[in-house]
């Protein structure tokens, strides 16, 4: 389902993307899932709603934006595994290579050394699964399956291994169930343990069959999609390397020296020189590695500068995800989940280029241009070109009155872009209003439309849709058609960001969104390492379910 299904009225076709021009309530009927939510959140307390709306913390921007390398202020949540340290680890080189996601190197090491023992069996099986040779991985682990003592000596839960191996195989074919993507990661984090004791990767390297790399008329390459619905996974994968900024290039060198596959993928990435169109199959582990040449340090420096992503305070270089270009009005969004990066469609995409945002695009034009200059390019998307045609005082932060004066007579799409650029000013205006008043509700509806055409599926969009639902529920009551529409819309925006969410999981997900909304000074998404653990069932009663 595309975002244009949610607002009726004048729908404008721009860049082959359906966009929204005016809101109108849906009928009172709701889906089975929404009715279930409504039954659980029947009567939210007035004081709770006011507090939630009044204390909202605006944590803008997606997790995992691309950025130029700079000073690192925090460390990657997963301990960085230096390959130099691996070389000093007696008898465990293959395991360290496996934990660094260098599956081909791990398999080569364990087979070259004729390593024996239960742990070596487990590492070999995990490396095969990481290479997406799932049947061979299952066969290799059978040696430990029926011997409890051997499995204990290997330090591996064989049942967990087989279960996660099945999950990886389903995901490699495009089946990304919500519980598989988020459930196990949340359980592991809250239990204080690693992702899995089975040494397996979190996700496979996946790209949608409808996506391919094409040459661009203006030069360079980009990802193009034939047909994707909002919420569909465009691609996902683990980083080739993740390290503090200053250590990224040395880490790339070590990984490239250790892994033929990493060296081959790095050779495909942009380094400032002209590159041929690559098949996305070449980025996958199941593809046989090519005999890529040794990369020079200057080339690695450019690869890291052009392709580096900010990843929970560190920098990371990904494979296929690095082929996605930037837009200040993207049709897809990137999100870090545990150790993996997901890119999902933010709206219906049909025979067009897939764009993500490299940074928070809910900023004025001049601030965005300063960011793109870090990569030595100027964004030429429709939004940026439109805003360059506007008076210069609107290129920096302007007041709400100045923006509203400028949008008079503009097309709804253009008005939404301009409001999104000055969303901080609208936020300040909203904070001065009574959060449950009619004027505040109108302002929120206005900003929701601005986010839909500018940065749909972002975490800011998710939080704002949640606030709009709570506000409508308090003003109109839970059964009012306007509240039902707001509830369905909130449900939909969550599913654009997180994929299809079953009703039972959606209630828990909404609690986590509310927790982020109410967290003054934090406001992080639940899959971010600094996010607070999920509220207990008892605490939840005083939040969403009262």
Show the tokens assigned to 426: 């609208």
Contact 350, 475 (CB under 8 A): no
Task: Give dist(CA 495, CA 188) in Å, integer.
Answer: 23
The residue-averaged pLDDT of 259-284 equals 85
Is pLDDT above 70 for 85?
Answer: no
The residue-averaged pLDDT of 18-35 equals 32
Of the given ranges (272-281, 373-382, 417-426), which has the lowest mean pLDDT? 272-281
Is pLDDT above 70 for 282?
Answer: yes
- Predicted pLDDT at 528: 73
Which stretch, 45-49, 387-391, 444-448, has highest mean pLDDT? 387-391
The residue-averaged pLDDT of 88-116 equals 82
Is pLDDT above 70 for 485?
Answer: yes
Task: Collect all residues with Cβ–Cβ distance below 8 Å to 296 and sequence separation of at least 6.
Answer: none
**pLDDT interval class at 529 (50, 70, 90):** low
User: Over the chain, what is the mean pLDDT?
Assistant: 80
**pLDDT interval class at 131 (50, 70, 90):** very high
**pLDDT interval class at 150 (50, 70, 90):** confident
- Predicted pLDDT at 281: 85
Task: Give dist(CA 242, CA 337) in Å, integer.
Answer: 14
Going by the DSSP 8-state scheme, the letter that residue 497 receives in this structure is: H
Contact 21, 10 (CB under 8 A): yes
- Predicted pLDDT at 197: 57
Is pLDDT above 50 for 513?
Answer: yes
**pLDDT interval class at 189 (50, 70, 90):** low
| Contacts within 8 Å (CB) and 24+ apart, 373-381 | 374/67, 374/68, 375/68, 375/305, 375/306, 375/326, 377/326, 379/326, 379/327, 379/328, 380/218, 381/327, 381/328, 381/329, 381/355
Could you read off the pLDDT of 228-241 as tens digits, one per residue?
999 999 999 999 99
Report the share of the chain in percent with pLDDT over 70. Answer: 75
**pLDDT interval class at 446 (50, 70, 90):** very high
Distance of CA 51 to the CA centre of its chain: 29
Is pLDDT above 70 for 69?
Answer: no
- Predicted pLDDT at 335: 93
**pLDDT interval class at 151 (50, 70, 90):** confident
Strand boundaries in 318-461, DSSP class E:
325-326, 332-337, 340-345, 349-353, 355-356
Top pLDDT among 430 and 452 is at: 452
**pLDDT interval class at 192 (50, 70, 90):** low
Task: Give dist(CA 544, CA 473) in Å, integer.
Answer: 12
Phi, psi (degrees; rounded to nearest 5) at 220: 85, -170
**pLDDT interval class at 254 (50, 70, 90):** very high
Could you read off the pLDDT of 291-308 as tens digits, one per residue?
778 888 899 999 998 898
DSSP-derived secondary structure for 62-131 = -SS-B-------S--SSPP--HHHHHHSTT-HHHHHHHTT-HHHHHHHHHHTT--SHHHHHHHHHHHHHT
Residue 13 pairs in a beta bridge with 18
Tell me the three state secondary structure of residue 491.
helix
Is pLDDT above 90 for 325?
Answer: yes
Which domains, and CATH codes, for the chain?
3-61+363-541 (no CATH), 83-190 (no CATH), 206-356 (2.170.270.10)
Contact 460, 58 (CB under 8 A): yes
């Amino acid at each position: 389902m595309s975002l244009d299904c949610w607002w009726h009225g004048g729908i404008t076709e721009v860049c082959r993307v359906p966009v929204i021009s005016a809101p109108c309530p849906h009928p009172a009927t709701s889906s089975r899932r929404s009715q279930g939510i409504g039954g659980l959140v029947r009567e939210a307390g007035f004081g709770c709603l006011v507090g939630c709306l009044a204390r909202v913390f605006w944590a803008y921007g997606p997790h995992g934006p691309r950025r130029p390398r700079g000073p690192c202020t925090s460390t990657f949540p997963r301990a960085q595994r230096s390959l130099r340290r691996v070389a000093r680890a007696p008898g465990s080189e293959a395991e360290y290579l496996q934990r660094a996601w260098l599956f081909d190197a791990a398999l080569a090491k364990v087979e070259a050394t004729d390593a024996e023992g239960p742990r070596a069996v487990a590492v070999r099986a995990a490396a095969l699964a990481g290479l997406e040779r799932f049947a061979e991985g299952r066969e290799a682990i059978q040696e430990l399956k029926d011997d409890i003592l051997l499995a204990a000596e290997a330090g591996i839960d064989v049942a967990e291994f087989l279960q996660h191996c099945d999950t990886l195989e389903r995901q490699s074919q495009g089946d990304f169930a919500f519980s598989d993507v988020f459930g196990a990661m949340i359980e592991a984090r809250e239990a204080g343990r690693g992702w899995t004791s089975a040494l397996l990767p979190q996700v496979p390297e996946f790209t949608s069959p409808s996506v391919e790399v094409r040459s661009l008329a203006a030069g360079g390459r980009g990802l193009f999609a034939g047909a994707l619905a909002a919420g569909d996974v465009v691609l996902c994968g683990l980083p080739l390397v993740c390290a503090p900024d200053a250590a990224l290039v040395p880490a790339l060198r070590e990984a490239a020296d250790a892994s033929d596959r990493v060296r081959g993928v790095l050779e495909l990435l942009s380094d400032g020189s002209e590159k041929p169109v690559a098949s996305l199959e070449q980025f996958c582990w199941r593809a046989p590695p090519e005999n890529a040449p040794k990369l020079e340090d200057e080339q690695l420096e450019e690869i890291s500068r052009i392709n580096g992503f900010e990843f929970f305070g560190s920098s990371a270089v990904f494979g296929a995800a690095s082929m996605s270009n930037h837009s200040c009005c993207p049709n897809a969004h990137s999100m870090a989940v545990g150790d993996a990066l997901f890119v999902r469609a933010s709206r219906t995409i049909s025979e067009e280029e897939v764009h993500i945002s490299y940074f928070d695009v809910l900023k004025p034009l001049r601030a965005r241009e300063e960011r793109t200059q870090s990569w030595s390019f100027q964004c030429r998307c429709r939004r940026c070109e439109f805003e360059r045609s506007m008076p210069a005082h609107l290129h920096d932060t302007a007041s709400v009155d100045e923006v509203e004066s400028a949008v008079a007579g503009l097309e709804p799409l253009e008005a939404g872009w301009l409001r999104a650029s000055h969303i901080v000013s609208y936020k300040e205006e909203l904070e001065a209003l009574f959060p449950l008043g009619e004027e505040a509700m109108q302002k929120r509806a206005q900003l929701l439309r601005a986010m839909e055409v500018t940065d749909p599926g972002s975490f800011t969009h998710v939080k704002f849709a949640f606030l709009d639902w709570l506000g409508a529920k308090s003003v109109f009551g839970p059964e009012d058609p306007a509240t039902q529409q707001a509830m369905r819309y909130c449900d939909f925006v969550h599913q654009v960001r997180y994929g299809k969410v079953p009703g039972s999981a959606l209630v828990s997900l909404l609690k986590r969104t509310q927790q982020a909304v109410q967290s003054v000074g934090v406001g992080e998404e639940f899959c971010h390492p600094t996010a607070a653990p999920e509220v207990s069932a008892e605490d939840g009663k005083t939040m969403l379910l009262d």
